[in-house]
Every structure is written in C-alpha cells, then in structure tokens.
C-alpha cells in the first residue's frame, strides 16, 4: 500500500489503534514509501508493455462464500499448466510485483507461515491468492478493509454489489481490477483463474467487464459455513488487525455479509450467458475431485481434461488423503438463526 492509501485507511478507522499494534503501524508506515518508489520503477520499465497487454482469454472466476471450498478449487484448477492465477505476492504488492517479486521469492519466504491460520491449506508467496487483497492494497474500497479495524462499523459493505454503485465508482473499480489482471497476465502468459468470495455478488459487473468470462459457483452446507467463517475472521483479526478485536458482533456480521453477497448473485446470475456459469457443491468436490473437475471442464469448455487428469488424480491420491478439514459443531440456536436468515440458500442448493 502506498502512503496515501495507508493514511486513508488509518483516517477511515479514526486512528483507533490498540497500543499493542503501534509497532506494526510504525513498520508499515516506514515501508509504504518504498512501495511508491518501486511502483515508479515498474511504471518506467513496464507502462508501455502493460498498456499493450491483453488477457489471454476471459478469466475463470471462482465464486462462493468464504469457507465453501473456493481455495481448494482454486488450487486444483491451477494444477493445469495451461492456466495461471494471481499469487500471494502479486496480490500483496500489486503496484510493483513485476520488479520486486524476485527479491521476496528469494529472501523473504520466512515472512509467511507454511500453512494458512484458518485451515490446513499450504501458504506461500507463489500460491494462488484472492485478488480482493490486491484491490485493497491498490487503495480501492473493499469489505476487507474491516480487517484493519474490526471493532469499528464494517466499511464498504456496498461493494458486495457493484451494480448498485454510482457509475463512476463502478468504472474505477472495474478498471483497477482489469489493470491488475493484465499485469498478472503479462507475467503469466496464460489464461487466469481468479478467486474471491467477494466477487459472488459482482457477477453482472464482471460479466460485462470481461465478456466471455466463466464462473464456477461452489456451495457448502451452511451449518459448516457459518462456524468456519466465524473462525476465519478471528484467525485473520488476531495477527493482522490494528486493534485488539473484541468480536462482539462477529456472528451478526457473518450473517449480513452472506445476505449482501447472495442477494445480488441470485438477482443477477441469469444475466450470465448460458454455458458460462456452473454450480458445484463442496461435499461433491471433496468426495470425488477428479469427477467434479472433469464435469467443470466439460460444461464450461475449458479444454481437454485428459491433459490435467493425471495431476488431479495424483493430488487426490496423495494430498487429498492427508488433508484434514476442520470440524465444526453448530449449537441449535445458531442453526435456527441461519436457517431463517439464509433460507433461500438452504433450499436452492439442497441443504
């Protein structure tokens, strides 16, 4: 994040920073000028090349609520060497990764844990990552800005539904996303698989911005989604927030985000061209990943599945057997709440 974006984030949070996070704030503040310098260097060397860069085919967007299996599906799709994806480093250094990636890949692997804090998935600078983090670091409004100040009212909730935004704001958002994906495409040279749960309610905007884009929507039993998402936010707030998170209204926040995400998705999904949107279930993906991936390739016409069949099969026979998803116990009173609040999802996706 550049100094202006960092200062804006702090100002929007009313500088309500916990004393235990002062050192973090100082460290980030000292680092932001280097982001501006590196961004300027990248602009000098790459601006003309990026202006001439186009995406290698429309993106494949993975959508669905947090903890519904979007990361697992993302990891599986990029086993196909014909596809690529934004990486963790690219999303956390969107201004300058073309000139700085080599350094962090070589000397800064120790900055990231080997596994994500919310589950047992591998972590690393070169692993596939949510492009929403890139948008945050570019200074755009995003619901993810809540992570910095979890005790404040949640910011930018309107960005779950980009069709509801004023035209100028929506244009700025789509142009920023397009610029970032073109930067990634320039480096990758392959079609992109893009994953962010926050894109679920943005399908109409994305379909217009990227004609021909494919969408894979994954659902999961809400009785697992709800407690797993609560755990997700707690695991992110603990190391990354600028406040000591009280989590007083976290469960209400999870319910509201779900509704803000799925109301526009169910409203707009019929605008996606036939054959460009597929629904799958997490439970089916876990039970038989090879069959599910083959179905996705067939229905969305992603190419010859036999090219990647062996890689998916090997994953299923090795890492899949070792992967242990977290188990969750949902109290009856919480189950009653989400059955009422998310009743359409329960019914539509067979839960």
Express each pLDDT in 71-120 by its tens digit. Answer: 999 999 999 999 999 999 999 999 999 999 877 676 555 455 555 454 55
- Tokens linked to 153: 């009212």
Sign of CA dihedral 71, 75, 80, 84: positive
- Kindly tell me if the per-residue pLDDT of 159 is higher than 80: yes
C-alpha span between 226 and 67 (Å, rounded): 9
- Kindly tell me if the per-residue pLDDT of 276 is higher than 80: yes
278: which strand partners?
216
**Which residue in the block uniquely carries the two structure tokens 């659902």?**
219
Say what the pLDDT of residue 120 is.
52
- Kindly tell me if the per-residue pLDDT of 145 is higher than 90: yes
C-alpha span between 231 and 44 (Å, rounded): 43
Greatest CA span in the chain, whole angstroms?
A: 59
Say what the pLDDT of residue 331 is.
87
- Tokens linked to 89: 């480093």
Tens digits of per-residue pLDDT, 192-215?
999 999 999 999 999 999 999 999
Say what the pLDDT of residue 314 is.
93
Per-residue confidence band for 121, with pLDDT thresholds at 50, 70 and 90: low
- Tokens linked to 221: 């039993």
Tens digits of per-residue pLDDT, 237-261?
999 999 999 999 999 999 999 999 9
Note the pTM of the prediction, 2 decimals: 0.93
C-alpha span between 65 and 76 (Å, rounded): 18
Beta carbons within 8 Å of 192's beta carbon, 6+ residues apart? 55, 56, 59, 60, 83, 84, 85, 86, 181, 184, 185
The number of helices, as runs of H, and strands, as runs of E, in the chain is 16, 4
Average confidence (pLDDT) over 279-304: 96
H/E segment holding residue 99: helix 97-107
Per-residue confidence band for 124, with pLDDT thresholds at 50, 70 and 90: confident
Say what the pLDDT of residue 317 is.
86
- Kindly tell me if the per-residue pLDDT of 9 is higher than 60: yes
Per-residue confidence band for 322, with pLDDT thresholds at 50, 70 and 90: low
CATH topology of domain 41-348: Rossmann fold (3.40.50)
Say what the pLDDT of residue 110 is.
47
Per-residue confidence band for 122, with pLDDT thresholds at 50, 70 and 90: low
Q: Which of 85, 338, 96, 95 is nearest to 225 (CA)?
A: 338
- Tokens linked to 171: 């244009």
Tens digits of per-residue pLDDT, 209-238?
999 999 999 999 999 999 999 999 999 999
Percent of the chain past pLDDT 70, that is, above it, reads: 92
- Kindly tell me if the per-residue pLDDT of 53 is higher than 90: yes
């Amino acid at each position: 994040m550049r100094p202006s974006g960092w200062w804006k984030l702090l100002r929007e949070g009313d500088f309500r920073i916990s004393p235990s996070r002062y050192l973090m704030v100082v460290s980030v503040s000292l680092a932001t000028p280097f982001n501006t310098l590196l961004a300027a260097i990248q602009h000098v060397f790459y601006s003309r090349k990026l202006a001439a860069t186009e995406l290698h085919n429309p993106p494949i967007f993975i959508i669905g609520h947090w903890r519904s299996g979007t990361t697992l599906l993302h990891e599986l799709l990029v086993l196909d060497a014909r596809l690529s994806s934004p990486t963790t480093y690219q999303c956390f250094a969107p201004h300058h990764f073309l000139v700085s990636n080599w350094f962090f890949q070589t000397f800064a692997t120790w900055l990231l844990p080997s596994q994500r804090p919310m589950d047992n998935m591998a972590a690393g600078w070169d692993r596939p990552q949510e492009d929403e983090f890139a948008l945050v670091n570019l200074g755009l409004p995003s619901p993810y800005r809540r992570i910095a100040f979890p005790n404040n009212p949640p910011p930018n909730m309107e960005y779950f539904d980009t069709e509801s935004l004023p035209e100028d704001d929506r244009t700025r958002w789509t142009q920023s996303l397009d610029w970032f994906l073109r930067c990634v495409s320039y480096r990758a040279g392959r079609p992109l698989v893009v994953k962010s749960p926050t894109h679920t309610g943005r399908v109409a905007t994305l379909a217009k911005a990227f004609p021909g884009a494919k969408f894979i929507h994954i659902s999961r039993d809400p009785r697992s989604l709800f407690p797993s998402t609560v755990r997700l936010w707690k695991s992110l707030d603990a190391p990354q927030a600028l406040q000591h998170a009280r989590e007083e209204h976290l469960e209400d926040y999870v319910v509201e985000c779900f509704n803000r995400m799925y109301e526009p998705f169910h409203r707009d999904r019929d605008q996606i061209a036939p054959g460009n949107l597929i629904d799958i279930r997490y439970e089916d993906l876990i039970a038989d990943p090879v069959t599910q991936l083959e179905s996705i390739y067939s229905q969305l016409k992603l190419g010859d599945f036999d090219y990647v069949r062996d890689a998916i099969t090997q994953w299923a026979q090795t890492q899949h057997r070792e992967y242990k998803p977290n188990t969750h116990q949902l109290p009856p009173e919480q189950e009653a709440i989400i059955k009422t609040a998310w009743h359409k999802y329960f019914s539509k996706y067979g839960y």
